[in-house]
Structure 1
Amino acid sequence: MAETRALPPEALKALSRRSDIDGLRALARHAGLIALGVALVLAARGSLWVWPAMALLGAAEISLFSPLHETTHRTPFRSLWLNRLVGWVAGFVLVLPPEGFRLFHMAHHRHTQDPARDPELIGAKPLTRGRYWLILTGLPYWWSQILGLVRTAAGRDRSLWIPAADRPRVTAEARLYLLLYAAVLAFSLATGSTLALLLWIGPVALAQPLLRWVLLAEHSGCVRSNDRWANTRTTLAGLVLRLLFWNASYHTEHHLAPGVPFHALPRMHDLVSGRLAVLSPGYPAAHAEIRRTLA
C-alpha cells in the first residue's frame, strides 16, 4: 500500500518476520496473568476481595481481544495452526467467533473510516457524549454480539462483508460456539457450579469497559478519510497496557502495515513517528481529545 512507502522495503521486510517464539512468549505471559487471576478469585471467594480479584482476572481475559485481533492477520505466530487455535480460544472467551470477526476486520482495514463500507461504521449511531459513555459500559457490545451470534447461527446474517462462499463456515462456527455455551450453562445448572460466573462471565463483564476504553481510542475523533496517517490514532500507552494489549496502542502503525507482528510495532513506531498525524501521549489524553469532538 502507498502509505508504507515511507519505510524502505528492506526495513518493512525485516519488521514483517513472524516468529512462534515471540508469540508464545507473549502468550505464556498472558496465560500466567490469567492463572494468577484465577488463583486470586478462588482464594477470595466468599469475601469482598473477590471483586477486585475478578476485575484483575477480567482485565487479563478481556485483553485476549488483542491476540484474537492479531491472529486475524496471521501475524503473532509463524505456524498457521497456532494462529487458528489461539484465535479460536480467545474468540470463545469474548463471544467473538474468529472466522466471522476476521472477515469483519479485513473489511475494516480495506475501508477504514468510510461510513458506507467500514463495518465499524455501517449503521452506527453518531457518537454523542451520551453514547460515548454508554459504549464505555460495554453493554451495547454484549447486546449486539449475543444477538449477532444467534442470528448468524440461524443463518440469517446477511452482512455485506461476508462473501457467499464463506457463509456456511461462519454459520457453522457460530453454531458450534452456541452449542458449547449451552453445554457450559447446562453443566453449571446441573451441578450448581458458580465457576463459570466467577472465573469467566463476571470477570469479562467487569472488565469490558477497559477494552472499550482502548478500542474507542483507535479511530474516534480522527478524520473520516482514506488517509491512514490521519484516520487512525497511535496512543503512547504505559508498559502495563502495552504488554496486556500486545502493543495495540501503536494502531496507526498497524493500519499502515497490517503484516507487521505485534512485537515489531514499537520498532516501526520509531521509524514513522514523525509523520503520524494523530499521536496521543496516553489514553486519558486520547479520550479528552475524543470528548472535545462530541456534541
Structure 2
Amino acid sequence: MSSSVSESNLIEPDSKRPSPLSNEALKNLNTRSTLKGLFQLSAHFAILGISGYLWGTNLGHNWLIAIPALIVYGFGFAAMFAPMHESSHRTAFENNLLNDAVCWLAGVLSFYNGAFYRRYHKWHHRHVQDFDNDPELSDPIPQSLGEYLLMLSGASWWWGKLKTHYRVATGQLEDYPYISEESRDSVMFAVRSQLAVYGIAIAISLIAGHPWFITYWLFPLMVGQPMLRMILLSEHTGCTHDTNPLTNTRSTKTLFPLQFLMWNMPYHAEHHLYPSIPFHQLPAAHEQLGEHFTYKDQGYVEVNYNFAKNLV
C-alpha cells in the first residue's frame, strides 16, 4: 500500500524553483511506502544488532573482528541521523504518527532531537546557503586544517549538541527563531524526555556495575561521527550561495553500504530540489534529474580531500 504526499506539506513552494520534472513524473516519484520504510528501518536495526553483537563478543580478545565491527556499529548509530532526517520530512512512511515516532527514536540513538531538528531543518531548506538565515551555516566552515580535523573528530558537534539540548530543555529558546511559540512546549518535552532516556540508561549501567552505556552507545557513536561529519560537510560546502537548487547542493556517488545506511541521502541535490520525494525513490529521481545538477562528485573522500587540500 502506498500514498503520495504533496511537496507543499514539507516545505513552502518556491516560485523561483526550477522544475525539470513534469507534474506527472513528480507525482509518481512522490509515492510514499510504509512497507519500504519499515524494511529499510528493520535492515538498519539488523546491521546495528549484528555488528553490535560482533563488537561485544569479540571486545578485548579478537580485535581483528572487534574493530571492523565497531566501525560498522558506530557508523550505524551515527547514520540513525538518516531515518531521523527522512522521518522529519514525513516521507519515510505513509502514517505521520509513525514518521514522528521514528524521527524521535532515531534522534535518541544518534544524539539529535527529532522535534527540534524538524523545525531547524525546515529553515535549512527554506534558506539553504543563505549566510544570514540558514541555521546549518551557524556552524562555521573550517578555515584551517586544524579546524577541519577538529570538525571531523566530532568534538565541536558533541559540544554543540550538549549546549543545544541543555538550552532547549531549560526553555532558553531565544536563539532559535524556527521554534514557534506554538511548538515550544512540545519541543521542550521531546528534548526532556530524550535526556530522561539517557539518564535511565546511565542509571541501569551504574546499578548493574557494567559500562553498557559507554560500551554499546556512547563510544561507538563517537567512533561513527567522523564518517557522518565527512558526509554532511560534502552536501553544500563549495557549492553556490544562492537560491538555485541546481547549483547550491551536491550529490555524491558512494558505495552501496554507505548509501544504504544513509537512506539514499547521497542523492542530496535531488532531495533539495524536491524534498517531497521519499528516500526509496531518490535513485529513480537521480536517473531523471542527474544531468541538471552542477555538483556531482565521485565519493566523499574525494570531496573532503579537495576541501582539505585548499586549507593547507
What's the TM-score bracket when you normalise by the shorter of the two chains? over 0.9
2:197 is aligned with 1:183: no
Q: Could you say which residue in structure 2 is the equivalent of 1:111?
A: 127
Question: Does the 8 A contact of 2:142 with 2:151 survive in 1?
Answer: no
2:26 is aligned with 1:12: yes
Q: Could you say which residue in structure 2 is the equivalent of 1:97?
A: 113
Pair 1:51–1:239, CA change in 2 (3 A)? closer
Question: Does the 8 A contact of 1:253 with 1:269 survive in 2?
Answer: yes
Unaligned runs of 5+ in 1: none
Superimposed CA distance per residue, residues 180-224 of structure 1 (whole angstroms, 9 cap, x where no aligned partner): 211111221122122222211111011100110111100111111
Q: Could you say which residue in structure 2 is the equivalent of 1:278?
A: 295
Q: Which amino acid aligns with 1:59?
A: F
Figure out how many residues of one structure are paired with residues of the other and give that number.
Answer: 295
Q: Could you say which residue in structure 2 is the equivalent of 1:215?
A: 232
Q: What TM-score do the two structures reach when normalised by structure 2?
A: 0.90
Pair 1:130–1:224, CA change in 2 (3 A)? farther
| DSSP-derived class of the 1:96 partner | coil
2:280 is aligned with 1:240: no
Q: 2-11 or 42-51, which moves further after superposition?
A: 42-51
Q: 224-233 or 172-181, which moves further after superposition?
A: 172-181
Q: Which amino acid aligns with 1:146?
A: L
Question: Does the 8 A contact of 1:153 with 1:171 survive in 2?
Answer: yes
Q: Could you say which residue in structure 2 is the equivalent of 1:140?
A: 156
Q: Which amino acid aligns with 1:6?
A: P
Q: What TM-score do the two structures reach when normalised by structure 1?
A: 0.95
Superimposed CA distance per residue, residues 261-289 of structure 1 (whole angstroms, 9 cap, x where no aligned partner): 01111111111111111110111222233
Q: Could you say which residue in structure 2 is the equivalent of 1:75?
A: 91
Superimposed CA distance per residue, residues 7-64 of structure 1 (whole angstroms, 9 cap, x where no aligned partner): 0110000000000011111112111101101210221133252333222211111111
Superimposed CA distance per residue, residues 139-180 of structure 1 (whole angstroms, 9 cap, x where no aligned partner): 111111012101111111221111121111111111111222
Question: Does the 8 A contact of 2:142 with 2:148 survive in 1?
Answer: no
Q: Could you say which residue in structure 2 is the equivalent of 1:37?
A: 51
Q: 111-120 or 233-242, which moves further after superposition?
A: 233-242
RMSD: 1.6
Task: Tell me, in whole angstroms, the C-alpha distance in 2 between the residues paired with 1:292 and 1:54.
Answer: 29
Task: Tell me, in whole angstroms, the C-alpha distance in 1 between the residues paired with 2:130 and 2:94.
Answer: 32
| DSSP-derived class of the 1:219 partner | coil
For residue 118 of structure 1, report the CA deviation from its aligned partner.
0.2
Question: Does the 8 A contact of 1:111 with 1:118 survive in 2?
Answer: yes
